């Protein structure tokens, strides 16, 4: 819209008509004051301003208009019949006019000028829009960049706190960030940690993953700088995508040595357990075969009795093995049950020694000490401990057939010691004997076993608030101890 400001109605009318004929919308003001009010309220792309007016003259109006930010950029054309002198024209321009037209004016020229201003206004508006949207885009980009930086910082802080070796890389695979753990293993931020074998080299597989944009998962052995100890690690690197495009890679090396060992131990255990279970089964099969043959040949019942006894022995062995395996899983799930009551320890010991004597008639168990005390506990579980200690003493003493059991009661506790003169245990193995699946290295090939008996004993003793330990000299023999609290049945 165009605003015509003139104190003479007839001037306004003629000018308005010319402009409206040319499709311009027109608004009018009869004084400078009215014009100022209107420019603040409405949007005009051009003001045609009469210089000569009572009250505020055109110059003052122009100055006021160019003084406020809303109206500053509206172009003003001065119309003047009187002030055609150069100094007035100059003043007009100085007070903010864009053009100065003297009356009488040529309507065609005026329309041309108005059109030019209109086009200029349109272009300015278009430019302003472009400028605005550019500004918005710049703002969005700056914000995104800031957010990205913040996200990156956050990610890097997280990677610094985790126990793994961690890194991030650019989409092309160039490493851009490594955490402190990285330097424990690698010489620089650009080099991956050294791997044990050449075939495991990370670089080649890393390049392939980058080229294919696929997750990388590698198990490899790496060592700390300056150390010869290699440990299994899992390298896992994944691409981080934004709008389907890879923007970075995040990777970690996780120490999986313990899992690897556990897995190896589990496999080893399964193979040992299968072997242990198969041996008595093979004997049972053979004795049943012999029994069958004996029945068919109507052989003497003495021989048949012997086969049945031997079968029975192997069945007991199998039963004990399976009971031990079940106990292990009960311990793991916290379901090992105890049925505690008062019992006399001496009686328990005598019965146990009798059972062992029957099973191993070639051995002599010497019992000494004051085991005649009352114990509050699970007698069958404590018998299990005694049987384990005694049968180990026998198993690991192939050349000496004497085993000594000594009981000592003092300070409210009973100590039981089982001593043998067998193969003994090297110092370095002694600490681990009560660990699950542990077997001293040099015995594992010569003697059958699963390495779970002492572990179960340790659990049973601990559940009776007891203690256990071993003293041994390799090649000379061992003494296995346990202590449990005792009481007087009448006092408790």
Residues near ligand ADP (CB under 6 A) are 388, 392-393, 396, 420, 422-423, 425, 433, 438-440, 443, 449-455, 478
**Tokens 């279970």 map to which residue?**
277
Cβ at position 367, least distance to ligand ADP in Å:
17
Nearer Cβ to ligand ADP, position 291 or 454?
454
Long-range contacts of 93-99 (CB under 8 A, 24+ apart): 95/58, 95/59, 95/60, 95/62, 95/63, 95/66, 96/62, 96/63, 96/65, 96/66, 97/49, 97/62, 99/75
**Which residue lies nearer to ligand ADP by CB, 31 or 429?**
429
Whole-number minimum distance, CB 455 to ligand ADP, in Å?
6
Per-residue HEC secondary structure of 407-458 comes to EEEECCEEEEEEEECCCCCCHHHHCCCCCCCCCCHHHHCCCCCCCCHHHHHH
Query: Helix and strand tally (H, E) in the chain?
Result: 14, 17
In the complex with ligand ADP, the residue whose CB is nearer, 89 or 440, is: 440
CB of 280 to ligand ADP, least distance (A): 14
| Residue 94 vs 319, nearer CB to ligand ADP | 319
Q: What's the closest the beta carbon of residue 322 comes to ligand ADP, in angstroms?
A: 14
Question: Would you say 229 and 240 are in contact if contact means Cβ atoms under 8 Å apart?
Answer: no
- Report the Cα 237 to chain-centroid distance in Å: 13
Q: Where are the beta strands (DSSP E) in 30-182?
A: 46-50, 76-80, 99-102, 165-169, 175-178
What radius of gyration do the chain's Cα atoms show?
51
Q: Which is nearer to ligand ADP, 96 or 422 (CB)?
A: 422
Q: How far is the CB of 391 from ligand ADP (least distance, A)?
A: 8
DSSP letter for 160, please. H
Q: Of 88 and 389, which has the nearer Cβ to ligand ADP?
A: 389
Least Cβ distance, residue 389 to ligand ADP (angstroms): 8
Q: Minimum distance between the CB of residue 320 and ligand ADP, rounded to whole angstroms? A: 11
Q: Which residues contact 278 (CB under 8 A, 6 or more apart)?
A: none
Rounded to whole angstroms, the Cα distance separating 394 from 183 reads 53
Q: How far is the CB of 472 from ligand ADP (least distance, A)?
A: 7
Report the residue closest to ligand ADP, judged by CB: 449
Closer of 231 and 439 to ligand ADP (Cβ): 439
The total number of residues shown for the chain amounts to 492
Nearer residue to ligand ADP within complex by CB, 48 or 393: 393
Backbone phi, psi, residue 37, to 5°: -60, -45
């Amino acid at each position: 819209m165009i605003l015509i400001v003139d104190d003479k109605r007839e001037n306004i009318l003629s000018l308005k008509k010319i402009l409206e004929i040319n499709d311009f919308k027109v608004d009018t003001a009869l004084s400078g004051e009215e014009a100022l009010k209107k420019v603040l309220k409405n949007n005009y792309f051009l003001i045609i301003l009469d210089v000569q007016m009572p009250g505020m003259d055109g110059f003052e109006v122009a100055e006021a208009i160019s003084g406020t930010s809303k109206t500053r950029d509206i172009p003003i054309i001065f119309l003047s019949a009187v002030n055609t002198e150069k100094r007035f024209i100059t003043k007009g321009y100085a007070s903010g006019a864009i053009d100065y037209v003297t009356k009488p004016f040529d309507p065609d020229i005026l329309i041309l000028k108005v059109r030019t201003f209109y086009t200029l206004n349109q272009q300015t508006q278009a430019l302003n829009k472009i400028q605005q949207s550019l500004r918005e885009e710049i703002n969005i980009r700056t914000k995104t960049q800031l957010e990205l930086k913040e996200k990156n910082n956050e990610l890097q802080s997280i990677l610094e706190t985790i126990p793994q070796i961690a890194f991030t890389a650019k989409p092309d695979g160039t490493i851009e960030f490594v955490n402190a753990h990285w330097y424990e293993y690698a010489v620089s931020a650009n080099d991956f940690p050294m791997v044990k074998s050449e075939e495991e080299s990370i670089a080649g597989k890393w390049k392939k993953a980058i080229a294919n944009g696929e997750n990388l998962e590698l198990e490899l052995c790496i060592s700390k700088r300056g150390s010869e100890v290699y440990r299994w690690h899992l390298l896992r690197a994944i691409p981080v995508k934004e709008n389907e495009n890879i923007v970075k890679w995040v990777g970690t090396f996780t120490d999986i040595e313990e899992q690897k060992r556990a897995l190896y131990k589990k496999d080893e255990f399964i193979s040992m357990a299968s072997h242990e279970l198969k041996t008595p089964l093979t004997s049972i099969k053979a004795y049943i075969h012999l029994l069958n043959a004996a029945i068919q040949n109507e052989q003497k019942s003495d021989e048949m009795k012997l086969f049945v006894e031997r079968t029975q022995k192997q069945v007991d062995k199998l039963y004990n093995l399976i009971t031990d395996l079940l106990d292990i899983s009960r311990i793991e799930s916290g379901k090992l049950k105890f049925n505690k009551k008062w019992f006399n320890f001496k009686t328990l010991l005598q019965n146990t020694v009798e059972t062992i004597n029957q099973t191993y008639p070639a051995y002599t168990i010497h019992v000494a000490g004051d085991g005649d005390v009352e114990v509050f506990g699970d007698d069958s579980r404590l018998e299990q401990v005694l049987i384990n200690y005694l049968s180990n003493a026998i198993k690991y003493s192939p050349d000496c057939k004497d085993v000594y059991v000594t009981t000592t009661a003092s300070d409210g506790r009973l100590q039981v010691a089982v001593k043998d003169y067998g193969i003994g245990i090297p110092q370095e193995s002694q600490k681990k004997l009560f660990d699950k699946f542990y077997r001293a290295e040099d015995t594992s090939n010569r003697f059958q076993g699963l390495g779970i008996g002492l572990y179960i004993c340790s659990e049973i003793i601990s559940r009776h608030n007891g203690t256990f330990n071993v003293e041994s000299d390799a090649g000379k023999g061992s003494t296995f101890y346990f202590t449990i609290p005792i009481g007087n049945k009448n006092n408790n």
